[in-house]
Amino acid sequence: MSANVPVLEGRDLTKYFWVKQGRGPLARRVPVHAVDRVSVRLDAGKVTALVGESGAGKTTVARLLARIIKPDKGDVLLAGRPAPSGRPRSYAAQVQMVFQDPFASLNPVHQVRHHLVRPLQIHHMANGNVDAAVADLLRRVALKPPGNFTGKFPHELSGGQRQRVAIARALAVRPRVLIADEPVSMLDVSIRLGVLNLLADLRDKEQLALLYVTHDIASARYLADTIVVMYAGQLVETAPSASLTDKPAHPYTQLLLSAAPDPDRAQPPHLEGRGAPPSLSAPPSGCRFHPRCPFAMDICKRQVPPSIALDTNHIAACWLHVDPAERQANENGQVLTAGQPLDNESKKR
């Protein structure tokens, strides 16, 4: 496969959830604009982090990529080909998910061995020696010696060990992609790093393509090669991790970073976190961040910002990065030339 073809790619993914608003005869169904034209790519041997506050649409993007839910618009491509609709076994074998709560994702009545044997058997992965395959999986997630763990029930394990079992179960089917949705958020702070290092190991040794979903930009900076920042259902900035954290271009990224100080980095301009994320059934006009943005201009309230390429693979959707003359031209209804739609940019990468 060409090095330029991502293992898994979402292009212009858009998802609405219809929810009931009001009561009685006045009740009506309104769309929640959960994800709006989000493009993201996952490459072999790389971690892409999807970062944003709660409600930003991260889990929805993860579920769209895993084919657990269908997009209203946009495409999912596996190795450059349109992914099948639904989540057939062949797709599940290549794209696996790990969830936030390892306790909820493991069946309390079954021992560790059972959790690993099932996917091995369903996908015919054991090569005739189930016990050896189980032991190998446990070693790969650093649960050693494996014999100490096969007979344990989930409640007999620590949170970190449970999450390792959930990761081992995902690995059982030899996926190319692992989508980890807030995999360390529910773990004790003291064991988070160990699980993040395990994910980094799997990326490096097994060349997995990893999507790391998190609200914590500091952990994204630690683990990820590329960071994608979402706000209120939209992609606001994406760049290689170092570029994004050293030179955050979008005021929202700057806000996230200022809330997660790093002793090694000069502080970005301090921003007050004014207000909270907006309702997604009636998102703000123009740039969805404008009500909270300390730099908001008139145009930000009226027009959706174009996605601007600032550096190699560094893209921000923000009017601040559009040349003032072009901004003015755009206000007057003339054609904008500097802004590139994000999908074109991400196709070039």
Ligand X SMILES: Nc1ncnc2c1ncn2[C@@H]1O[C@H](COP(=O)(O)OP(=O)(O)O)[C@@H](O)[C@H]1O
Hey, what amino acid is at 52?
G
**Token pair listed for 61:** 């993007």
Decide if residue 71 touches ligand X (CB under 6 A). Answer: no
- For residues 96 and 89, the answer to whether their CB atoms sit within 8 Å is no
Q: 311 pairs with which residues across the strands?
A: 314
- Nearest approach in angstroms of CB 50 to Mg ion is 9
Angle, in degrees to the nearest 10, between helices 159-171 and 189-206:
20
Instruction: Closer to ligand X by CB, 10 or 52: give it.
Output: 52
Distance of CA 180 to the CA centre of its chain: 8
Instruction: Closer to Mg ion by CB, 38 or 308: give it.
Output: 38
Sign of CA dihedral 329, 332, 335, 338: positive
Decide if residue 76 touches ligand X (CB under 6 A). Answer: no
Decide if residue 32 touches ligand X (CB under 6 A). Answer: yes
Per partner kind, with CB cut-offs from 5 to 8 A, the member of ligand X, Mg ion, none near residue 100 is: none
From 47-55, 90-98, 145-153, 319-327, give the range in contact with ligand X by CB under 6 A.
47-55
Instruction: Closer to ligand X by CB, 13 or 32: give it.
Output: 32
Binding residues for ligand X, total number by CB under 6 A: 13
Decide if residue 57 touches ligand X (CB under 6 A). Answer: yes
From 49-57, 196-204, 250-258, 318-326, give the range in contact with ligand X by CB under 6 A.
49-57
Q: For ligand X, which residue of 39, 48, 60, 238 counts as binding (CB under 6 A)?
A: 60
Per partner kind, with CB cut-offs from 5 to 8 A, the member of ligand X, Mg ion, none near residue 64 is: none
**Token pair listed for 175:** 């996926």
- Burial (CB < 10 A; 0-12, 13-18, 19+), residue 346, is buried
Decide if residue 100 touches ligand X (CB under 6 A). Answer: no
Annotate each residue in 142-171 with x if it binds ligand X (CB under 6 A) or - if it does not, as one string.
------------------------------
- Nearest approach in angstroms of CB 251 to ligand X is 19
Beta-carbon contacts of 78 under 8 Å, excluding residues fewer than 6 positions away, are 7, 8, 91, 94, 95
- Nearest approach in angstroms of CB 276 to ligand X is 12
CA distances from 91 to 99, 123, 329 (A): 18, 11, 47
- For residues 51 and 229, the answer to whether their CB atoms sit within 8 Å is yes
Decide if residue 210 touches ligand X (CB under 6 A). Answer: no
Q: For ligand X, which residue of 143, 280, 300, 322 counts as binding (CB under 6 A)?
A: 280
- Nearest approach in angstroms of CB 195 to ligand X is 19
CA distances from 9 to 59, 77, 95 (A): 16, 5, 12
Per partner kind, with CB cut-offs from 5 to 8 A, the member of ligand X, Mg ion, none near residue 276 is: none
**Token pair listed for 63:** 């579920």
**Token pair listed for 286:** 């123009």
**Token pair listed for 42:** 């996952």
Q: Which of residues 10-69 bind Mg ion (CB under 5 A)?
A: 59
Decide if residue 163 touches Mg ion (CB under 5 A). Answer: no
Instruction: Closer to ligand X by CB, 242 or 276: give it.
Output: 276
- Nearest approach in angstroms of CB 281 to ligand X is 8
Rg for the chain, CA atoms, rounded:
22
Angle, in degrees to the nearest 10, between helices 112-122 and 159-171:
10
Phi and psi torsions of 174, nearest 5°? 55, 60
Annotate each residue in 240-279 with x if it binds ligand X (CB under 6 A) or - if it does not, as one string.
----------------------------------------
Q: Which residues bind ligand X (CB under 6 A)?
A: 17, 19, 32, 34, 52, 54-60, 280
